Amino acid sequence: MIEPHYSLFYVFHFYLFGVIALASAVTFVTRTSPVAAALWLVNTMFSLAALYVMLDAQFIGVMQVLVYAGAIMVVFLFVVMLLNLGHPSAYADARGTGWKLTAGLVGLGLLSEIMVIARAKLPQQLIIPREFSEQQLQKLNAVGSIAEPLFKDYLLAFELTSVLLLVAIAGAVVLARGRAVGAR
């Protein structure tokens, strides 16, 4: 696959946000305090949103900031504060050395798997002509190029998503309400 030529400005910022995302992810995973971990994860989400914008997916970038950094992580922080896990005695420590070794081995295994997959060749009929998405982006705008397949080809999946969300809301309310469910 031939990639177009990118300016140094673009490449520099792509790598910059990539490194920020990676560094915050590593910091996130080594924290034992849930609040610190959540904030580092928000940092990762933000730099991923910047990468989405650079990859011509502006709408997805905005969604990333609104949904992930704005909504999901706030829910996480709410739960942390609701359970009053702020003081250090409530922290669960990391697991022992055996688990860490296992984690390292699993990580290496996944990495080698990806190395193998990266050598595979894509079947010819799956490849869409190179300028396809650029043409689509010019014809429709950034939102329209997502909305058109979403409401035409994937309409059934989109409608089923609403059922999924409804079930999730009902399930969350029932689970979190606790003992009072049977009372009335």
Partner 1 sequence: MLAESLALTAALFIIGVMGVLIHRNAIIIFMCVELMLTSVNLTFVAFSRYYGTAGQVFVVFVMTVSAAEAAVGLAIIIAIFRQRQTIDLKDINLLKG
Q: Pick out residues in 70-89 that bind partner 1 (CB under 8 A).
A: 71-72, 75-76, 79-80, 82-83, 85
CA distance 24 to 82: 25
Contact flag: residue 172 with partner 1 (CB under 8 A)? yes
Per CB under 8 A, which of residues 127..156 are in contact with partner 1? 127-128, 130, 132-133, 136-137, 145-146, 149-150, 153-154
Q: State the DSSP code for 33.
A: S
Minimum Å gap between C-beta 50 and partner 1 is: 11
Question: Closest approach of Cβ 79 to partner 1, in Å?
Answer: 5
Tell me which of 22, 81, 86, 141 binds partner 1, using CB under 8 A: 22
**Cβ 49 vs Cβ 73: under 8 Å:** no
Nearer to partner 1, 171 or 184 (CB): 171
DSSP assignments along 96-132, one per residue: -HHHHHHHHHHHHHHHHHHHHHHT----GGGPPPTTH
Considering only residues 33-52, where is the footprint of partner 1 by CB under 8 A? 34, 37-38, 41, 44-45, 48, 51-52
Smallest distance, Å, CB 2 to partner 1? 10
Should residue 114 be labelled a site residue for partner 1 when binding is judged by CB under 8 A?
Answer: yes
Give the whole-angstrom CA distance, residue 159 versus residue 72.
22
d(CA 133, CA 56): 9
Report the sign of the C-alpha dihedral through residues 164, 170, 176, 178, in that order.
Answer: negative
Q: What are phi and psi of 31, to 5 degrees?
A: -80, 150
Among 3, 12, 87, 183, binds partner 1 (CB under 8 A): 3
Q: Which of residues 54-73 bind partner 1 (CB under 8 A)?
A: 54-57, 59-60, 63-64, 67-68, 71-72
